[in-house]
Amino acid sequence: MDAAATFAALFATLYVAHSVGDHWVQTSCQADEKGGAGWAGRWACTKHVIGLTATKGVLLVPVAVVLDLDLSVLGLLLGLGIDAVTHWWADRRTTLARFARVVGKSEFYSLGTPAHPVHPVTAEGTPAAHLGTGAYALDQSWHHLWLLVAALLIATV
Q: Which pLDDT score, from 0 to 100, does residue 117 have?
A: 67
Residue 86's H or E segment, with its range, is helix 73-91
Amino acid, res. 60: L
Q: Write down the mean pLDDT value for the chain.
A: 92
Reported pTM = 0.88
Residues 6+ apart with CB under 8 A from 79: 10, 149, 150, 151, 152, 153, 154, 157
Note the pLDDT tens digit of each residue in 71-111. 999 999 999 999 999 999 999 999 999 999 999 998 888 88
Nearest to 136 by CA among 115, 108, 117: 108
CA distance 125 to 130: 14
Q: Which pLDDT score, from 0 to 100, does residue 51 have?
A: 98
Q: What is the mean pLDDT of residues 127-145?
A: 86
Checking if the pLDDT of 43 tops 70, the result is: yes
